[in-house]
Amino acid sequence: MARAVELAAEAAVTLQREIRVARARPSNGGVLIAVTHSSVIPAQGFELTVDAAGVHVAAGDDAGAFYGLTACLQLLEQFGRKLPGLKIADHPDHRVRGVMLDISRCKIPTMETLKLLIDRLARLRCNQLQLYMEHTFAFAAHQTVWADASPMTHEEINELDAYCAERFIELVPNFNSFGHFGRWLRHQDYRHLAECPDGFSGYTPQDHGTTLAPHRQSLQFLHELYDELLPNFSSRLLNAGCDETWELGRGWSRRKAEARGGTRVYLDFLKQVYRLAKKKGSRMMFWGDIILREPQLIPELPKDLIALAWGYEADHPLNRECRAFARSGLEFYVAPGTSSWNSITGRTTNCLNNLLNAADAGVRHGASGFLITDWGDGGHHQALPVSYAGFTAGAAYSWCLKSNRDVDPVIAVNRTFFGCPSSGLGELWLDLGRTIDQVPGTAAVNRTMINNWVFDVDRPDAGSVTAAGLRRGLRWLDGLEERMPDCYCHAPDADLVTAELNHAIDMARFGLLRALAVRQRTSTASLLEQHCRIIMQHEEIWLQRNRRGGLHESSERLRSVKLA
């Protein structure tokens, strides 16, 4: 009912007339939209009819009614009072359509930011939200770990859980419970839980452990953490992570791994975490990267686990990975990404193709869920609007791939995030993510070379990029700036969105100019003023959407850049 009242208020503004919400047909006045429920319509689905009798929404459940009313509002925005005759029958390809936000790589949004984003995701028909946590929940006995993080509190999670539920979104706890434990294991009090307490060399060299040792002490530790974390969520799901266990088999479990194989050691502990989650009343999901190393072991997984097939490049073999989980009878989600992290600008082309590839694999192999991941690796320097194209396109592809395969996400970005279908800002943000396409020779995985050129501490490697290509990229950024005065935004964060876009362009320009100086063998000292400006901008803009915790760590990466 509350959501219907909100939508009615928006329709009243659009039509410039009073609109009320009632549970029964009024004795006086006309009916703009009639809503009924139907048991023959699939869950979350609706049928929208506009004819001589008026506008009627029949829905399979309350969520379907909400989505049907949202579709009506879009029609009213487009056509006004004179709606064309039509009939729409709609229901989702994927039962779960979610977004995962990384709140462990420095940036933790304020409650105001999270609620605004939840409202927007609900309009995109997303129905699950996960907040990725490593150390950013205020565990009562572990302040050492989260002291500098401005963590989510128990009260905030409870408040957010209720806010999501009112908008047909399930807030799912996401706490990495095997790998990615470095934020804990770097402290002396937790070193005894590490696979490699003194660190390791390899893909991501560390001077401390990042993976829990698969022993009883670790399991008991998770037991205590779950007891405090999970009751704050109404969801009976738990994303326990368990991905990228880099050093497993190289320390405490070395002998077991040599005797039985590293993936087998991984599987054994995964099952123990699963049993622990089940004991707590939660159904566990996990990232599928490690078990996919030896897919013949997948049938040994408990049948009520949910696997997450993830990959973030446009050509990632999600089709093959989904097939492996589907053949085992295991429920699974497909999990592409927004391509925002380690980019500054975003990677629009890769983002859209990665999401489309994931939706195709998910539909083909029967994925129950589609989880759009938005990471913050490297200090989370990208602005939130960089991810908007991924949120909107992913929501469209996961709802109905057949209808939306060729959809242009620009209008949805403008309408949902900037308050007007013709805002112009959507085009600018997507074109910002195409900056890297203008500079030949900049292929990179999970990042952009622009990001590398900004953050390389000494002189960045320009690789095979030519001076002409770099100048072309700079001209592209100039063109984006020239278009900004013609754009407008009716959203409550309009001024901030403009500041974020200016800042992203400034950072990208700084990176291109550093690379150009290297290519031309000239000094970068002339960039000092620009360097100082982007540090100040970064810190000022950060605090308008996010908590202070993590800001120093993120800014330090910018401050450490050397110019000479």
- At 110, the pLDDT band (50, 70, 90 cuts) reads very high
Residue 153 lies in a domain: yes
**CB burial of residue 128 (10 Å; 0-12, 13-18, 19+):** buried
Better-predicted residue by pLDDT, 458 or 28: 458
Question: Does residue 488 sit in the same domain as residue 395?
Answer: no
Determine the average pLDDT of the residues in 429-458.
Answer: 96
- Answer yes or no: do 391 and 310 share one domain: yes
165 and 120 within one domain: yes
Q: Which of 31-35, 132-136, 461-465, 497-501 is predicted with the least confidence, judged by mean pLDDT?
A: 31-35
Would you state the structure tokens that stand for residue 100, as one six-digit string? Answer: 């995962």
Model pLDDT, residue 27: 59
Tokens 């599987």 correspond to: 267
CATH, residue 129: 3.20.20.80
- When pLDDT is cut at 50, 70 and 90, the band that residue 53 belongs to is confident
User: Is residue 536 included in any domain, yes or no?
Assistant: yes
Q: What is the average pLDDT across 249-276?
A: 97
Q: Are residues 284 and 370 in the same domain?
A: yes
**119 and 234 assigned to the same domain:** yes
- Tell whether 370 and 509 lie within a shared domain: no
In a domain, 157, yes or no: yes
Domain co-membership, 301 together with 401: yes
Greater confidence (69 vs 154) lies with 154
Q: What is the mean pLDDT of residues 13-40?
A: 69
Residues 439 and 542 occupy one common structural domain: yes
Structure confidence at residue 242 as a pLDDT band (50, 70, 90): very high
Question: Which residue among 90, 112, 139 closes a domain?
Answer: 90
Whether residues 442 and 503 share a domain: the answer is: yes
How many domains, the chain? 3
Of 65 and 305, the structure prediction assigns the larger pLDDT to 305
Report the C-alpha gap between 80 and 74 in whole angstroms: 10
pLDDT on residue 312: 98
Domain assignment present for 107: yes
Mean pLDDT along residues 445-451: 97
Q: What is the CATH number of the domain that holds 18?
A: 3.30.379.10
Give the pLDDT band (50/70/90) at residue 30. low
Instruction: Place 127 in a pLDDT band, splitting at 50, 70 and 90.
Output: very high
Q: CA 538, 539, 543 angle in degrees (round to 5)?
A: 115
Task: Evaluate whether residue 208 is within a structural domain.
Answer: no
In a domain, 200, yes or no: no
- Quick one: 118 and 67 in the same domain? no
Domain stops at, among 49, 68, 90: 90
Q: 282 and 332: one domain? A: yes
Q: Is residue 207 part of a domain?
A: no
Domain that holds residue 469: 432-559
* Count of beta carbons in the 10 Å neighbourhood of residue 460: 20
Q: What are phi and psi of 441, to 5 degrees?
A: 85, 25
Using alpha carbons, select from 130, 144, 204 the residue that is nearest to residue 173: 130
